[in-house]
Amino acid sequence: MASPVALFVGLDVVSALLTLALGALLVRTWALTRAPIALLLGVAFILLGASYATVTASQFDLGRSPDLWDELRLAGQTGASLVLFLTYLSSRASRNPVPFRVLAGAVGALTVAVGLLDVVLPSLSARIPERQYFLGAHLVMAMAFGACAFMAARGFGQHPTRDRALVPLAFLFFAISKYTWFIIDLTRSDAPVGLIYAWRFAGIALLGFALVRPLAGRPPHAPT
């Protein structure tokens, strides 16, 4: 493979640490505010960061069948994106958000359970054909992140603040990164791999700015 695999692995590790830091900030927000949305978002980003940390050099070999690390990585990222989607959906359900929050928590718990099962009993893990496995997972993630971007944009429209303006763009970058993976899976070309990290780091940076709250004296809240 002509691409600088070592560089990509390093970028995955860095993005894992930064995403875990985002998750920790959200959990801290929950500890200060007891807002369930902040906890669910924190869990989602911790799952996402942990999945980035499962990177291997073989990830960038597009001609092989999925292995255990692929299953852990894609299960974690798919689960995290669905937790984010359901959490944002709950924030828009003005009448009864509890079922969506319960479902988001259940998806997060199921994601962890699937990951543990893959590690402890890898022989029970179903092997799905490569093209369906990668294409389907990345398409689901792209759609989930895109839906989060749309809902966050509506939230900004209702409460236009400087930090809220960054959140839709952040999720849009995450969606584009997954759509780029989808294109890579479809074309079997590794040429756009570098773009994935540009989109991902842009999304992480924007969410980080939104969470840090650059305007002093304002209480912390989840980026919805």
Q: What is the pLDDT of residue 216?
A: 44
Confirm whether pTM is higher than 0.85: yes
Tokens of 61: 């070999």
Nearest to 107 by CA among 136, 86, 135, 130: 86
Length of the chain: 224
Domain-located, residue 149 = yes
**Segment holding 95, helix H or strand E:** none
Q: What is the pLDDT of residue 131?
A: 66
Domain-located, residue 169 = yes
What are the pLDDT digits (tens) for 78-118? Answer: 999 999 999 999 988 777 889 999 999 999 999 999 888 87
> How many separate domains does the chain show?
1
**Residue 223 near residue 167, CB atoms below 8 Å:** yes
Domain span at 20: 5-212
Domain-located, residue 92 = yes
Q: What is the pLDDT of residue 91?
A: 87
Give 155 or 26, the one with higher predicted confidence: 26
Tokens of 199: 């989109």
What are the pLDDT digits (tens) for 66-82? Answer: 777 888 888 899 999 99
Domain-located, residue 16 = yes
Cβ contacts of 173 within 8 Å, gap of 6 or more: 199, 200, 202, 203, 206
Domain-located, residue 196 = yes
What are the pLDDT digits (tens) for 128-142? Answer: 556 677 888 999 999
